[in-house]
Structure 1
Amino acid sequence: MITTIITAAVVYVATSIDNLIILLVFFAHKKDNPTVMRIVGGKVLGTSVLIAVSLLSAFGLRVIPEQWILGLLGFVPLGLGLKVLFEQEGEESLEKIYFAANKKHGNLLVAMTIITIASGGDNLGVYIPLFAAISQAELVVTVLVFYMGVALLCYLGYRLAKLQQLGGTIEKYERIIVPVVFIGLGIMILVENGTIAEIIEILM
């Protein structure tokens, strides 16, 4: 069982550590408790979707769309980054468009969920064969370790964002950092999933 725990921990860290910068940006902008809970909730929901899809696929159900279709989710962080980039200066206007088009409370939760799914699309290629190769007991342990990994990753991102120097720098230069991070993430998702190439091929 120790081997299962170690394997699950290594797999989760290897496939999810790149999300730390995203969490750091989210947490640095908003540190009040309701918002923090939405960020964590979005991360949990997004991870749950990835795990559920991997489980269904491991048991032989075809639930994964073509890779390039999954990559369309990359337009979400890309769009959010562009909104921040082209919005007029001013904290009030930035508040209105940060992570969403309006002020609905669920937007941050939805944004974090979608970004987690979009950036974790390539994780399915690791999770599915892993889930298919282990016993039910090992599967339960692995999923529990994954959720513990989510909690630890969110905690690490939150603590780093609270560091005065790091969090203050992100808040000070958020009009540069946020667009760069989210536009970069969106482009990476679109390219890695072959979405851009597929769109070009369809248009041609």
Structure 2
Amino acid sequence: MNLGIIGQAAGLYAVTNIDDILVLALFFAQGAGHKNSTRNIALGQFLGFAAILAVAVAAAYGATFLPGSAVPYLGLLPLALGTKAAVQAWRHRGDAEEEKQAGEGGPKPLEVAAVTFANGGDNIGVYVPVFATAGIGGMSAYVIVFLALLAVWIAAGRYFATRPVIAKALSRWGHILLPLVLIGIGVLILIEGGAFGL
């Protein structure tokens, strides 16, 4: 693999996915103390990002799964999941911390995948022209680097969520922050894409 392509791929991934570290840290905070939460979050993140890559690779070869006008409506996914998390936080607002965690059950892989895919919908627009001009070898290098960095991103999200100061803050405020961040991502995707004439 060419070092230039590796560097370009690493830079492109970092720039287009920097916001995912916060979302991952919030998911890890939500899953703290739940069995298999790390596996569920990692699986969901890989599924969501694999879907982004699949759509970008296919689009680079001329296939379109979603018309461009439909992409902004992906914002409805994190908006719905954020609303669901807000309702759960409201229902459990008077519960002790242990009861709140038991009620949440930790993030599900498909929920994480949906947020990852929706949050990365704009990445597809960046990846398609890069993949289309990189050729098969270059595109393969990009995909390999992206998947390797995805593992690094997951580890970073877990690392931040388990630092004592951050973990304490996320434990105290994560049930409020997660819905706010998801709803914010959803609204931002809808507005930036001009969905519903916004």
Q: TM exceeds 0.5?
A: yes
1:2 deviation in Å? 0.7
In structure 2, distance between residues paired with 1:184 and 1:60: 32
What amino acid maps onto 1:173 in structure 2?
W
Cα gap change, 1:95 to 1:196, in 2 (>3 Å): farther
What amino acid maps onto 2:7 in structure 1?
I
1:179 deviation in Å? 2.3
More moved, 154-163 vs 175-184 = 175-184
More moved, 45-54 vs 57-66 = 57-66
In the other structure, the counterpart of 2:145 is 145
In structure 1, distance between residues paired with 2:7 and 2:144: 12
In the other structure, the counterpart of 1:158 is 158
What amino acid maps onto 1:38 in structure 2?
N
What amino acid maps onto 1:162 in structure 2?
T
In the other structure, the counterpart of 1:51 is 53
Cα gap change, 1:33 to 1:7, in 2 (>3 Å): farther
**1:35 equivalent among 34, 37, 59:** 37
1:75 deviation in Å? 2.2
1:95 deviation in Å? 4.7
Instruction: Count residues with an aligned counterpart.
Output: 190
In the other structure, the counterpart of 2:117 is 117
* Structure 2 gap segments, 5+ residues each: none
1:35 deviation in Å? 1.1
Cα gap change, 1:192 to 1:95, in 2 (>3 Å): farther
In the other structure, the counterpart of 1:177 is 177
| RMSD, matched Cα | 2.0
Residues 7-33 of structure 1 deviation map (CA, whole Å, 9 limit, x = unaligned): 111111111111111001001121356
Percent identity (aligned): 30
SS of 1:60's equivalent in the other structure is coil
- Runs of 4+ deviating beyond 4 Å: none
In structure 2, distance between residues paired with 1:23 and 1:17: 11
1:94 deviation in Å? 6.4
**1:65 equivalent among 64, 67, 88:** 67
Q: Is the 8 A contact 2:28 2:161 kept in 1?
A: yes
